[in-house]
Structure 1
Amino acid sequence: MAAEVPQCCAVRVRGPGPGPGPGGCSGIVLSLRPALVLCPAAPFAPFLRAGPAGWCGSCALPPGALRPCPRPRVLLCGAERGAVQELEARLVALVPCEAFRRALERGFGRAERWRFGAAAAEDAEAAGADPRALPWFVWLRVPALDAPGGGWALRASAGCLRKGQALLACGTPFGDLCPELFLNTLSRGVVSNLAGEENALVLTDARCLPGTEGGAAFVPSPDGPRLVAVIAASLCWKGAEWVGLTLLCSLAAILRSSAAVLGEAGVAVPPLPAWVAAVPAGGGHDPLGWTALVECGATWGSGVLLAPRMLLTCRHVVAAGAPLHVTPAAGPGR
């Protein structure tokens, strides 16, 4: 499976002047005719004319929304083993994925003290990881990659995913810092959970380090691995506690949000194959519905429903003596 993974890359973002720039991230070569790369928008944050407030809008931003306009580069595997090829890229647009944003707002409210990516500090925005940038993605045009006989990477809808399903993640840890060693590193995991419209937000336990944001998540299929989601946040914290799950954004949701921008650029996105699009997003009894959230004051944990009115949990979860609240998984009639 690994040998057939569609091409991933790293993206280097620099200002127009000499010297180092804000940094880099991972990316995905989605099309070779024309050559298009998709990556997260966070590395472009220092160039936003409107500052952090620019992430609050719901419309795509053209290159003119950045000042000065950065010089993105795409780093790919070279012809020789271990070699890295660096190509110039042109910014097409910054696009918000609204379905992913809505899922984030429902599941990761500010009151819950969630922090993502490199934001281990209490002030996430000061750490350069403004959570408002998470739903934003960037389209890059890479003329040197154009291939007359090329096409789009094999894709699938996140709506076909199920909890426990195997995933393969591909990204470049630490972005553009040491691509000779880390470019397109692979990691295996499963779908841990799903949320949002047509599974716009996917949680996985696949190990993804900082810098892999913008990398790809694939599912196996008879004709090769299919790209299903983009790594949005490699690590997250709730308060001071690290949560070892990676946030993925559905590629189908990004493409829907980008339809107008790509259409203006004259890019036609081929539809998903019928056998993939026809798979329903839900159905059947989910045995994982036996689990429940248990909250006791500021302490929280999980529990297992042994019967409709009986739940088993650990003693330390309820040791505080505060009022107890149990939230079962959503389901028919519940």
Structure 2
Amino acid sequence: MGRQWEPSTRAAVQSGCVVSACRAGRPEAGSWSCSGVIVSRSPGLVLCHGGIFTPFLRAGSGSLTEAGVAFLPGDSCRDDLRLHVQWGPPASSASGHAEPERPGVCTPRCAGPEPPTRAAGRPRPRPPPRPAELLLLLSCPAFRAHFARLFGAEAAEQWHFANSAPHDELSEEEEEDQLRALGWFALLRVPPGGETPPELERAPAAAVAVAPLGTVPKGAPLLACGSPFGAFCPDIFLNTLSRGVLSNVAGPLLLTDARCLPGTEGGGVFAARPAGALVALVAAPLCWKAREWVGLTLLCAAAPLLRAARAAAHRLRCPEASALAALLPPEAGSPRGSPLPDLGPPWAAAAVLVECGTVWGSGVAVAPRLVLTCRHVAPREASKVLVHSATPKHRCQQHPGQ
């Protein structure tokens, strides 16, 4: 991926994990899984997507959309909830040589015999995923507000944010649960255990650094780290990397063209600069517009989400939760003064939206009242063409041929 990506790759792989949820003593009830980010190693704190918890909410998924609700305590879920977190072996060292495997941080095999360890030269059983406990469910209020403004009411009629294709067989209740959980995340604690190596327990508390909102400009390269299909066969899917750019920004609601699949929700998205800084978490890996796949991934900025986590932990009035909140990673530097407006690439200011009845597309304003677009976007037989400009905000009307 190039030398510039080495710190980001190392940070992404070392902090990536998979979170699984199931019902105690009821394997037939199925399991749910998503990606997560290890934000602290000592003690172990993990941020993941909140969608896997909707089947366990005592009050149902409707509690996520109640007015004024920004977080829910861990006891909002039923007592039969069981959580497990698994992560992969350490990333390669700076010299490029793989570090030796260590007990407690190895990914369980899908099948097959266990290989011998490099250090001891004898077979060693792989430890199972580590148990975890739910501290709280939280959302980023600013993210939810921007999402409601952009995709709420009539605007959402042809948008589909469930983690499946529109024609897949999902019940109306399941689809509603997924939509309600969009923008919700969970803070988990992984209790210390005998399987964890001493060097990992003595590692610095913060596993990642967080980029402040607004410091990563539109068009900047990003690296997404998630596990497609969640806990399914982690030997091949755990901590899969995908590169893209920051495509657009609306407050804490971000878009990237990095390819993310179902199961990567909750995975971390990192910047090349600041090197290895956590920019966002995946909120929705797939979306559909008018039954067509849109190749953009919806992200929630990490900085405001972690601020919401700290505020929620303090409001729980639980000394333990407050102490853990103080260990959440800090922001990697702050913007100096007011951030400059992001003008994007030089061609962004000239980009316009062209509408012609039910047909729409992009265009380039090459001169005053002159837009260049594709022939099929504005057919000659059309009665009128509407051109929407982003800056300044206005709508103008043109006829074909002008």
Q: TM-score, normalised by structure 2?
A: 0.75
Match for residue 271 of structure 2 among 219, 228, 235: 219
- Show the counterpart of 2:256: 204
**Relative to structure 1, is the Cα distance of residues 333 and 94 closer, same or farther in structure 2, using a 3 angstrom cutoff?**
same
Q: State the secondary structure of the residue aligned to 2:142.
A: helix
- Show the counterpart of 2:221: 166
Q: 2:106 aligned with 1:61, yes or no?
A: no
Q: State the secondary structure of the residue aligned to 1:44.
A: helix
| 1:25-40 paired onto structure 2 within 5 Å | 25-40=34-49
Q: How many residues align?
A: 329
- Show the counterpart of 1:283: 341
Counterpart of 1:330 in structure 2: which amino acid?
T
Counterpart of 1:257 in structure 2: which amino acid?
A
Q: CA RMSD in A?
A: 2.5
Moved more, 308-317 or 73-82: 73-82
Q: Which runs of 5+ in 2 are unaligned?
A: 1-5, 90-100, 109-127, 396-402
Q: Quote the Cα distance in structure 2 between the aligned partners of 1:42 and 1:243.
A: 21
Q: Quote the Cα distance in structure 2 between the aligned partners of 1:41 and 1:208.
A: 17
Counterpart of 2:163 in structure 1: which amino acid?
A
| 1:139-154 paired onto structure 2 within 5 Å | 139-144=187-192, 147-152=201-206, 153-154=208-209
Q: State the secondary structure of the residue aligned to 1:316.
A: coil
- Show the counterpart of 2:88: 77
Q: State the secondary structure of the residue aligned to 1:130.
A: helix
- Show the counterpart of 1:16: 24
Q: Quote the Cα distance in structure 2 between the aligned partners of 1:88 and 1:204.
A: 32
1:69-97 Cα shifts (integer Å, max 9, x gaps): 41110011153697335100000011111
Match for residue 235 of structure 1 among 262, 269, 286: 286
Moved more, 303-312 or 85-94: 303-312
Q: State the secondary structure of the residue aligned to 2:254.
A: strand
Match for residue 192 of structure 1 among 247, 251, 255: 247
1:275-316 Cα shifts (integer Å, max 9, x gaps): x43375443644212111112222211111112321112222
Moved more, 45-54 or 25-34: 45-54
Q: CA deviation at 1:118?
A: 1.7
Q: State the secondary structure of the residue aligned to 1:252.
A: helix
Q: Quote the Cα distance in structure 2 between the aligned partners of 1:284 and 1:270.
A: 26
- Show the counterpart of 2:121: none
Q: CA deviation at 1:328?
A: 1.1
Assess if the C-alpha contact under 8 Å between 1:173 and 1:211 holds in 2: yes
Q: Which runs of 5+ in 1 are unaligned?
A: none
- Show the counterpart of 2:118: none
**Relative to structure 1, is the Cα distance of residues 333 and 241 closer, same or farther in structure 2, using a 3 angstrom cutoff?**
closer
Q: TM-score, normalised by structure 1?
A: 0.89
- Show the counterpart of 2:131: 88
- Show the counterpart of 2:159: 114
How high is the sequence identity, in percent, across the aligned residues?
43
1:26-53 Cα shifts (integer Å, max 9, x gaps): 0000012321100011011111222231
Q: Quote the Cα distance in structure 2 between the aligned partners of 1:45 and 1:285.
A: 39
Q: Quote the Cα distance in structure 1 between the aligned partners of 2:64 and 2:276.
A: 33
Q: Quote the Cα distance in structure 1 between the aligned partners of 2:307 and 2:387.
A: 37
Q: Quote the Cα distance in structure 2 between the aligned partners of 1:8 and 1:119.
A: 23
1:103-140 Cα shifts (integer Å, max 9, x gaps): 21122234232112423236684454621211110010
Assess if the C-alpha contact under 8 Å between 1:171 and 1:184 holds in 2: yes
1:149-172 Cα shifts (integer Å, max 9, x gaps): 422112212311212110011000
